[in-house]
Structure 1
Amino acid sequence: MLAGTHCVAIGIYSGLGDIVCALPSVMRLRASGRRVILVMSVGIHRVAAELLAQHLPPGDVLTVQWPPGKNLKSVWGLVQALRRERVQAFLVSPHPQLVHASRKLPWLMAALRGLGMRVLGAQADHRSWVYSHKVAVDRDLPIATREWQFLADLSGHRERGSFDWEPFRPQRVAQRSGGVLIHVGASKPNRRLPTRTVLDLIRQLETERPVRVVGLPAELQELKALYAESTPAPGADVAFVSGSLVQALDTLKHMDCSITMDSAFAHLAAAYGVPQVIVFGPSDPVSNRPVTFVPQTPVIQETQKLPCQPCGLHTCELGDFRCMNLISAAQIHAAVNRMLAARPEAAAAV
């Protein structure tokens, strides 16, 4: 379906995790001699700019105000930009579901098709009737593998090969610090641990090994103040990393284990080969799990799975996000100990 194309665009990405999962497939497509342009929302580009700069030329990233406002001005701006870059095919990534649900998407696809571009997407996608070509994609696959399969099928590769975090492999480190990294969570409350749970977890870990905490600056400032008030254990090595994304990733790479939510950090830990404990609340651990080659322990509501799980929503119909709030620091701490006990096997797997 991409035969004869030398410039393709892929989008529209609205989350850092989407971009992380797409990079291995994008780099593989670039290796075939094609120019690949990533299209993403303005907001997520601000977050991902440093990471993207390590892998793509600046000219191969286009930003758009997405979802668009009340008019179609931003959609038309994207159409014009793609036209200037002489894009021949636009690939709708098979996993940013919120983007697919936008009512403006058919207008964008229709405009691109009117300019003679091929518009390709997953067969099961919402509004897939606007695509000129459709590809069957297994929704039960992890999202990174899903993208890999999608682009492999479009490229006509009969042998897809095994998924590989190849773009991130050169940055992996052999010697780790023995510490544990805690990722507080994403900006949405459905993918974030309560502050009290994080504090309890730090207190349980601080007497055993170094602890590094990453997250949004405002959250870390609050956590740091509350932790200082709680009388840290003598000799505790706890630090709150509130710098750039690249600084947080440099910290992640040197950890023996990480505790992540269902977020971009879970995929980044997998990419860097860091064993991890993943906390899943409203999201599906089957389709949202990262592709990893080291042991990991997803932590779900272990006492009793709620009937609404997994809902996959950013809001909570019950109003209290109990699927996250009922997960205790003790549960996560126990999973970390199981993970670290498996460290020799993890090293062998890498």
Structure 2
Amino acid sequence: MMLRVYIVYLTLLLSIISCKSQTLQEHLLEPPPPLINFALSRNGATADASQSVPNHRAEEVIDGDTTSETWDEGSGWGSSLEHLRTSDLNKRPYVSVTLAKPVDVRKIVVWTIDSEKYPAPQFGLKDYRIEHWHGTGWGLIPSGDTRDKQYTARNNTKGKRVHEVRDRLIASKIRLVPVSSNDTVRNYQHMAGRRPVYEVEGVARVMELEVWGYAAPEVYTLQQIVQGIPSESIGHTVPTETQARKDQTEPTIKEIVQSVLDRYERGYDMADLAQVMSCFSEAYLSNGRTYQDVKTKVSHFFETYHQIDMTLTDVNIHPNIVDDTAIVTGGYTLQYVTKADGQVKQTSGKVTLVLTNEAEAWRIIRAE
């Protein structure tokens, strides 16, 4: 009798476990809910821009219309690229979307112009940044689409680009910052003080900006409080434990170029030919002098003089964000002692250097 009861009990228990396992399996295999595009005016989003070309307002990027065929009738947002006139990053245009509520962002889709009349490879966005507001400023979204940490997209020729968000990102403001378009043309005009001035042609054209994700749960803020995360961090990405240990601060172009100049100075101070030449591109050509000519001249200088002190002064760095170059202007003072007779000498003057980004390293390609 007891054996029969035990068998019945065991059968019921296995049946319950089987049902629960099946229910759990079904739950795990259940597809996630569809993503929602929160960057739509009908979903409560609003848009604004730093500037717009006539008849192409910011609101056009959140109207749900991705077609490029009606650009001439006023579809899409457009802006000039006058910031390229002096490579002034503070004057870059942008179109910003404010969402109705904080969103757990999973992907951002950029639609630039791409029609039979205006194909993307000739008229679409070429380089741009997508940024999110993190409470105290704007930061680049963690998409991982490009190896260049200064941009979200480089050398784009497509009408539609999908940027998957790599880390968790809770945000309520997203903006697109055009850097250049495929019809951008810059012609050098003159120097305004120490800053080169260019004549700029080209327009940034954006048909639609989509922000796909899920509404951030209300408990997220409570979790922040429980975990001791300040509320100001809403909008920050939530890194993994491994990523949290990494220093994610990326140097700016100016900082990278400055490090090259510092290495150039140290190379002279230590009479280190290899260190000095590491600052020059092998494609260097200026006033008829090549990389090898510079190497020969510097080598002879180090053979003739010692106790060298090279100092660059009043340095100004002007990044050219279109063609990955930077113009450096300033002065220099070079003091040295002749090995033969111990005579102290000094020269000084003004210098203009042009650096280029080649193989992820900045080097001097021209001197004026």
TM-score of the pair, normalised by structure 2: 0.25
- Structure with greater proportional strand content: 2
- Structure with greater proportional helix content: 1
Q: Find the structure with the greater CA-based Rg.
A: 2
